[in-house]
Structure 1
Amino acid sequence: MISHSSQLPASSVNSAKDTISFAEISAEWFATIKPHIKESTQNKYRNLLEAYILPEYADMKLEQISYDFISKHCNDLLMLGGKQKSGPSTKTVTDVLSVVRSILKFAIRKGQKVSYDGSTIRLKCVSKPMRIFSKIEQEKLCQYLCSEYNPHNIGILICLFTGLRIGEVCALHWEDVSFSNKTLHVHSTLQRIQSNSNSKGKTKIIITEPKSSCSIRTIPIPETLLSILISYKNISTGYLLTNSNTKFIEPRSLQSKFKWVLKKLEIDYANFHALRHTFATRCIELGFDVKSLSEILGHATVNITMNRYVHPTFELKKENMQKLDSLLTVK
């Protein structure tokens, strides 16, 4: 395996276009897209390049990169496995392939000779079933969260009944809540990212627009949740969860508290994102039209909502199957 520094290699001018290396074109690609993407996305691409791509691709010429090479590299990463082993997750390997494709297609647009652009490679990814809270678990969770209105409990409760992402709820301000219209305006996300490429291990908190324009949305607030927010509010402006103009709750703190709550209530483990999936599933069970749900979740298409966030329970399947009863008559 080739060793590389933590910095992306500097792009250099090469008079023989057909001998340019992957490292050179990847640096040019990164420099081109950097002004147009968020800082968190810059860090993501930089980390993928340095950890998984450049150690194998850097000194290769573009004409040497073949279907077999890219396919083997991705499969080798998949074989290493995720958290239980030493390798990246399936999602990370998918992102690696996406970055490699983008760089090779960029090279083609720049007039470089590329043997293969990676477009026909398909990874065999086994999707894991998403954890959804049962109605009994949700009721147990709600009773605990409503027993004490503190920043963490309020944050968990909002996500469970609005489907907000963890960064979105952490960024909420009281100014985003309209008590007269009974709505919540989502337009920011709070996250911790690497400070910059030169600061090993150093991070910082940033507040930016959500992941896409579709994520900027106004959500109607259920009456009971609205009443809870009214009773919890003690300032006119500032962060909603903390009731403070300066202090905020960051995502990893909220995740840690959520994990603690589940353990205390003896509810099986679930990651924080399960709240969003549970919200979507409950909405479908209650008869929400999918288009409305998709907009509430901030999705670009209805397909994303149905394929990723709607998980019918067995009880709902039984209920739907019973609707066939009227078609079966026995004399």
Structure 2
Amino acid sequence: MSRKGENIYKRKDGRWEGRYVKSKSPSGKTQYGYVYAKTYRDAKEKLLKAFASHSQQIIPPTTNITCFSVIASEWLNSTIPQVKESTVNKYRNLLQSYILPIYGDIPLSHITHDFIECQCNNLLLYGGKNKSGLSSKTVMDTLSVIRNILKFAVRKGIFVPCDGTSVQINQVSTSMRILSSTEQERLCSYLNSEKNPYNIGILVCLFTGLRVGEICALHWEDISFSEQTLYVHQTLQRIQDKSCSEKKTRIVLTTPKSACSIRTIPIPDPILKILNDHQTSRKGFLLTNSETHFIEPRTMQNRFKIALKKSEIESANFHALRHTFATRCVELGFDVKSLSEILGHATVNITMNRYVHPTLEMKKNNMEKLSALFTVN
């Protein structure tokens, strides 16, 4: 079925009709084109192809010669002091891969709502190296960068017909992998039977909700055995190295994802005992007991997959440990505010919407509460 804003409609004769902006006259008058098909899917595909072939014609005439690439460069340079290096690399990659090849030489005053929407649709359908289309998440990230650049231009006093706010992408939500209670028991059994640094790290994440970069960055100085807490204030990650060095990437130890991610987490008694037995040094990285040697996130992710295989559990990514932790906490009756702070979220809504996944058993138990209202005379 068609969605709002798509301009695809079912005609009385049973066919589907799609309307697109074909061109704009020098006076600014819009001229529309039409496509027809027997099915909605075919009409949508025809419409997107029509968008692609006519996208350059929907740009109105102007005398403004400030090109998008010039402002994009200024914007990127202005963000460098304000965001993490990994974020700058992400912006730079999106610009080079998906934005500048299309927008680079176009004057800012030529960039309209129709043009941005058309290019986003093209990325969804034909983007990527294989021309098979990008995910809605990647296109959303790309659109976000475009919006930031256009708003930056507005702040500089440059006329921009559209700042991109009116363009919307229907984001497809992906299912999150959560270990069942049975899977969690099997995994814990294996991890306890082979207590190496990798498995200890997996156990800590499973019972604290730490991200993979956070467990890799954890130092013994961050552990308080007397108070039974761990202090999260760093993350370890491998990022692209844009310098002239021979290596393409390097490891950095930096602040966590956000200010809310800096937090103190209580440690359950069994995990505290495991850490106490594992400790051989008062300083250095927790997993390795070394001040110079560390385990990087990709290695932890690979070792987690090995642990799943040995536990005869279906494959999952490392972040599934965080999802599983949050779900188990809700099942056990944690108050959501406490859980939100343990996970390092800015608001309770993020915790509820993103990480809390009621199981079928939880739903059944809740529905059974209605039985008390059922009476037979």
TM-score, normalised on structure 2?
0.81
Name the residue aligned to 1:64: 110
CA contact (8 A) 2:213 2:235 kept: yes
> Is 1:275 the counterpart of 2:328 in the alignment?
no
Name the residue aligned to 1:204: 250
Name the residue aligned to 2:198: 152
What is the rounded CA distance, in whole Å, between the counterparts of 1:147 and 1:235 in structure 2? Answer: 23
- Structure 2: stretches of 5+ with no match in the other structure: 1-61
Equivalent residue of 2:161, what SS?
Answer: coil
Q: Which residue of 258, 264, 269 corresponds with 1:218? A: 264
Of structures 1 and 2, the one with the larger relative CO (CA 8 A, separation 6+) is: 1
Name the residue aligned to 1:13: none
Name the residue aligned to 1:12: none
CA contact (8 A) 2:124 2:134 kept: yes
What is the rounded CA distance, in whole Å, between the counterparts of 1:200 and 1:87 in structure 2? Answer: 33
Larger radius of gyration: 2
Equivalent residue of 1:207, what SS?
Answer: strand
Greater strand proportion? 2
Name the residue aligned to 1:77: 123
Deviation at 1:74, TM superposition (A): 1.5
> Is 1:164 the counterpart of 2:207 in the alignment?
no
Tell me which moved more, 266-275 or 286-295: 266-275
| Change beyond 3 A, Cα 1:207–1:63 | same
Name the residue aligned to 2:280: 234
CA contact (8 A) 2:68 2:103 kept: yes
What is the rounded CA distance, in whole Å, between the counterparts of 2:128 and 2:306 in structure 1? Answer: 24
Equivalent residue of 1:192, what SS?
Answer: strand
Q: Which residue of 280, 302, 305 corresponds with 1:259? A: 305
Tell me which moved more, 207-216 or 263-272: 263-272
| Change beyond 3 A, Cα 1:148–1:81 | farther
Name the residue aligned to 1:246: 292
Equivalent residue of 1:317, what SS?
Answer: helix
Name the residue aligned to 2:135: 89
| Change beyond 3 A, Cα 1:132–1:84 | farther
Aligned residue runs from structure 1 range 99-110, under 5 A: 99-110=145-156
- Structure 1: stretches of 5+ with no match in the other structure: 1-15
What is the rounded CA distance, in whole Å, between the counterparts of 1:294 and 1:93 in structure 2? Answer: 28
Q: Which residue of 157, 162, 168 corresponds with 1:122? A: 168
Aligned-residue CA RMSD in angstroms? 1.8
Name the residue aligned to 2:97: 51
Deviations 1:239-293 (A, max 9, x none): 0011111110000000011112212222111111111011001000100000000
Tell me the number of residue pairs that the alignment of Structure 1 and Structure 2 aligns: 316
Deviation at 1:149, TM superposition (A): 1.3
Name the residue aligned to 1:38: 84
Deviation at 1:312, TM superposition (A): 0.5
Equivalent residue of 2:251, what SS?
Answer: strand
